[in-house]
Amino acid sequence: MDRLWAPWRMTYVEAAGAPPSASAGCVFCDALAAGDDRRVLILRRSPRAFLILNKFPYASGHVMVVVTRHVGTLEEATSEELGDAMEMLQAAVRAIGAAYKPDGYNVGANQGRVAGAGIVGHLHLHIVPRWNGDTNFMPVIGDTRVLPETLDTTYDRLNAALGA
Which CATH number does the domain housing residue 144 bear?
A: 3.30.428.10
Q: Is residue 99 a part of any domain in this protein?
A: yes
Q: What is the pLDDT of residue 65?
A: 98
Distance from chain centroid for Cα 76: 20
Query: How far is it, in rounded angstroms, from Cα 127 to Cα 105?
Result: 7
Active site residue 124: yes
Q: Does the residue 81 lie in any domain?
A: yes
Asked if the structure places residue 138 within a domain, the reply is: yes
Rg of the chain taking only CA atoms, in angstroms: 16
Residue 1 domain-assigned? no
Q: What percentage of the chain's residues is helix, strand, coil (to nearest 5)?
A: 35, 15, 45
Number of domains in the chain: 1
Is residue 8 assigned to a domain?
no
- List the pLDDT tens digit at each of the 164 positions of the chain: 455 556 666 665 565 555 443 225 899 999 999 989 999 999 999 999 999 999 989 899 999 999 999 999 999 999 999 999 999 999 999 999 999 999 999 999 988 888 887 888 899 999 999 998 776 555 555 666 667 788 899 999 999 999 86
Residue pair 125/65 in contact by the 8 Å Cβ criterion: yes
In a domain, 18, yes or no: no
Domain of residue 68: give its range. 24-161
Residue 2 lies in a domain: no
Q: Is 86 helix (H, G, I), strand (E, B) or coil?
A: helix
Q: Which pLDDT score is estimated for 133?
A: 79
Look at residue 22 in the predicted model and tell me its pLDDT. 28
> E-assigned strands of 54-136?
63-67, 104-108, 124-130
Catalytic residue, chosen from 62, 122, 124, 126, is: 124
Query: For residue 37, is it within any domain?
Result: yes
